[in-house]
Amino acid sequence: MVRRSWAGTGWILLLALLSPAWAGQDPAMELVLLGTGYPYPSADRAGPSCAVVVGGVAFIVDAGRGIGMRIAAAGIPWSAIRSVFITHLHSDHIDGLPDLFHSCWQFGGGRPFELYGPEGIRGVAEGILKFYEADIRIRRDLTEKLPAEGAEIDARAIGEGVVYSAPDRVRVTAFAVNHRPVEPAFGYRFDAGGRSIVITGDTRPDPNLDRFARGADILVHEAYVNGDTASRQDGSHSWTIYDYHSSAAEAGAAARKANVKILVLTHLIPGNAPEKYFLDEAKRNFSGRVIVGRDLLRIPVPDSADSPAVQ
């Protein structure tokens, strides 16, 4: 069953966070890069996805190819996953969503799968449930007798604004980004305990991104290098993926404009380009710390993010 909800401007969802055993009383905030690749399959880079972990509770942003394997490798318990936030409905950002839903149900407990995303997310949820229809009946009614509620998806279509808020714990704000012609597309800002992480999703340079990312501890931004945007003689050019993505240099400029502390590059195009290419381009426009993402990289956000440990 798909539960239908709306989350957008003016709607603050007051949700009580669960406290999984591994969380303890630690209110720390950490970024875990689960997948740093792009649509072309790679043995080294899973599809776009990351986790924001606050006090041991995991919030997943995007669910690219291979996310289930990366969550297992990162040691994030399935029971610790609280909510999933999708930036837009391109295949590379949702390829792993069915596996994520099913693993959270089979191995994580009996809560409905909490899913946020742009208009159309309910249709995605309905498709997942139809895909697993026979399996759900077997595991719920005949064999493992898994909790029925865990086989439900609480799909929430979002607009710009606060979409998730747990008092004194974490607030998640969605903001529109420029990924045209893909509309709507969102980025997300996570605020908790005076710390902040902003995840852009796919975007061109956008003043709205600069505004919502302002002052963040960590900005997670997509990046390409060596993009071909050369014009034809008549002033036009054939469409390429670079027309609705950002270069590493543009990511650096966004980090500078927003005055963030750390820039993390992900969704790397091409995935096999030397990290130095991304680093050099970003540093042309940003004098702060730049980290070129790798799958399973963990970046804690300390009280002061000036010198974070990177594992």
Residues with catalytic annotation? Answer: 92
CB atoms within 10 A of CB 301: 26
Residue pair 225/278 in contact (Cβ under 8 Å)? The answer is yes
Any idea what DSSP says for residue 177?
-
Q: Quickly list H helices, the chain.
A: 67-74, 91-94, 97-108, 121-131, 133-137, 207-212, 248-258, 275-283
The secondary structure element, H or E, covering residue 158 is strand 153-158
Question: What span, in angstroms and rounded, lies between the C-alpha atoms of 143 and 30?
Answer: 37
CA 98 vs CA 66, 107, 308: distances in Å: 11, 14, 34
Which one-letter DSSP state was computed for residue 19? -
Residues 6+ away with beta carbon under 8 Å from 236: none
Between CA 122 and CA 116 the distance in angstroms is 9
Residue 208 DSSP one-character state: H
Task: Compute the C-alpha angle 68/69/70, nearest 5°.
Answer: 90
In DSSP terms, 32 is beta-bridged to 51, 298
Q: b or e along 276-291 (b: 16 or more beta carbons within 10 Å of the residue's beta carbon)?
A: ebbbebbbebbebbbb
Helix, strand, or coil here: 49?
strand
